[in-house]
Structure 1
Amino acid sequence: MRLPDSIDSVGEACAHVLMTPDPVAKLMAARAVARNWRLGRLAHRFDAAMPDRPARPEKPELLPPNRMPKRGRIGSERARIAMLHALAHIEFVAIDLAFDLIGRFGGEFPPEFTDEWMRVGADEAMHFALLDRRLRQLGSHYGALPAHDGLWQAASETAHDALARLAIVPMVLEARALDITPATIERFEGAGDEASARMLRRIMTDEIRHVAAGTTWFRHATKRLGVDPANHYQILVKRHFRGSVKPPFNDSARRQAGLTREFYTSLAQ
């Protein structure tokens, strides 16, 4: 997919991804934007406003989290499809989260910030493509089931503050995925679905890098402000995260990402 010739800045390109509703078109746009940036075709200019909400396809139906149907035991193919669909929706929204982060806050950071988050955005597009392909192998597809509409809430809550966005999205939400994915992989393996388990292992490896990107740039920004990173993280999480930071924690994976225990253990007490 080629970007429209009129798009020549990072800001315009990120807005283009966010305003593309069709899932396949969105992942292709994400890949095209990341490639154009890598090839030097986009100016490091932030001249487009990011939308309050991204464009969304007609399906899946978006429901409040408390209205989502129960998935049941993962041993059944139906339950595995429901789990994979939920993960595909997370990755679909993650595409928008990555490009919104760049387009909304990239001007506050050096170009290396855009380098890193473009790679993250391309990863999220690839993850979505893998999950949708696996759903199709199982006779389903993204959009066949409802999905919950709580994921964008974190973006809305932190739309005014780059540090808050880094704290909540990569350093809370994606870090939580590091905690729970190993058990999910084990359940797929126990159900004999090695193809899905192998795919989730690959995605988790990338997610460690994404949490590391969030932690690295959070530390960069707090150093510039002259504040303690762990303490400031805790302040922002208490202020902006509506859920709870709770164990069990995958301390090993978090440590690989630079998110060490002094950041989060006190939040769980």
Structure 2
Amino acid sequence: MTATLAQAAVAILVTADPVAKARLSRETAAAWRAGTIQEIGAAAPPDRPGRPERPPLLPPNQVKKRKIGPGVAGRIALLHALAHIELNAIDLAWDIVARFCRHGLPRGFFDDWVIVGDDEARHFLLLSDRLAELGAAYGDLPAHDGLWEASQTTAHDLLARLAVVPLVLEARGLDVTPAMIGKLLAAEDPKSAAALQIIHDDEITHVATGRRWFEHLAQAHGLDPVPTYHALVRRYFRGLLKPPFNKPSRDKAGFKAAYYEPLAVEK
């Protein structure tokens, strides 16, 4: 096992095989919890994470929209798209560990993002296993690279990273997942629906983690969190936030409507 947490994070980031990446993420999290890895250390993350040859990565507007119909193809497309999101989420969690390891952050910050990295890996493996049960595999369908673009535009600014990744992108997952669960249940696929419910419930804690550290760091810099969030999202996120919002799940994360509702109606 790698000597420091930052070095381990980089090892995860450069791993190209998706299942190997997810398993290394889980192993690293277990080693951190057990004390096998003790030092945060320092290491330079790659500009782009390791990726397999498949799936091909296309511009977002060239990836077909997924619709759940009577057959299995729509469900496979949905689960494949979600697996791609979770794979990117593994890298986003470990990138924040490695990229901001020199910022003098408290150990609790790294504890929290190790948990997120572990969860995202568990989600990817859950979806990968479900795809296999449906006769498919991650890599069978095209995907897009939009999620990693968010990391590149916020690589220089931790507050911007927290504003855009957990507090826009992951929060959006809270909004759309319940409808996906409903469609899977209507398609008589309770096993896939149960997997998405697990992911949704874990993502509440991830949004809470992002919100908690965003507020901590904003206040440490003498900034009011809500207007700071508005300014950063307007600068680093393309487009408006899309209602309807899943207010009950956002509330569970402590993510107040004052953060996001104004951004749905003005830019």
TM over 0.5: yes
Q: Which residue of 2 aligns with 1:243?
A: 239
Of 30, 34, 48, the match for 2:29:
34
1:186 aligned onto 2:203? no
Mapped to 2, the partners of 1:67 and 1:16 lie a distance apart of 31
Mapped to 2, the partners of 1:149 and 1:140 lie a distance apart of 21
Identity percentage over the alignment? 52
Query: How far does residue 151 in structure 1 lie from its aligned partner after superposition?
Result: 1.1
Q: Check the 8 A contact 2:3/2:39 in 1, yes or no.
A: no
SS of the counterpart of 1:49? Answer: coil
Superposed CA offset, 1:94-139 (max 9, x none)? 0000000111113431000111110110000000000000000000
Q: Check the 8 A contact 2:68/2:187 in 1, yes or no.
A: no
1:105 aligned onto 2:86? no
Superposed CA offset, 1:222-265 (max 9, x none)? 11011111110000000000132121001110011011011011
Mapped to 1, the partners of 2:41 and 2:236 lie a distance apart of 25
1:90 aligned onto 2:79? no
Mapped to 2, the partners of 1:28 and 1:185 lie a distance apart of 26
Of 149, 157, 162, the match for 1:161:
157
Mapped to 1, the partners of 2:67 and 2:252 lie a distance apart of 33
1:132 aligned onto 2:128? yes
SS of the counterpart of 2:78? Answer: helix
Of 41, 59, 66, the match for 2:61:
66
Mapped to 2, the partners of 1:219 and 1:74 lie a distance apart of 42
SS of the counterpart of 2:146? Answer: coil
Q: Which residue of 2 aligns with 1:172?
A: 168
Q: Check the 8 A contact 1:44/1:111 in 2, yes or no.
A: no
Q: Which runs of 5+ in 1 are unaligned?
A: none
TM-score, normalised with respect to structure 2? 0.96
1:119 aligned onto 2:115? yes
What letter matches 1:82 in structure 2? A
Mapped to 1, the partners of 2:196 and 2:123 lie a distance apart of 9
Query: How far does residue 74 in structure 1 lie from its aligned partner after superposition?
Result: 3.7
Mapped to 1, the partners of 2:163 and 2:69 lie a distance apart of 31
SS of the counterpart of 1:60? Answer: coil
Of 25-34 and 163-172, more deviation after overlay is shown by 25-34
Q: Which residue of 2 aligns with 1:54?
A: 49
What letter matches 1:228 in structure 2? D
Q: Which runs of 5+ in 2 are unaligned?
A: none
1:213 aligned onto 2:209? yes
Mapped to 2, the partners of 1:111 and 1:75 lie a distance apart of 49
Of 72, 77, 101, the match for 1:77:
72
What letter matches 1:181 in structure 2? T
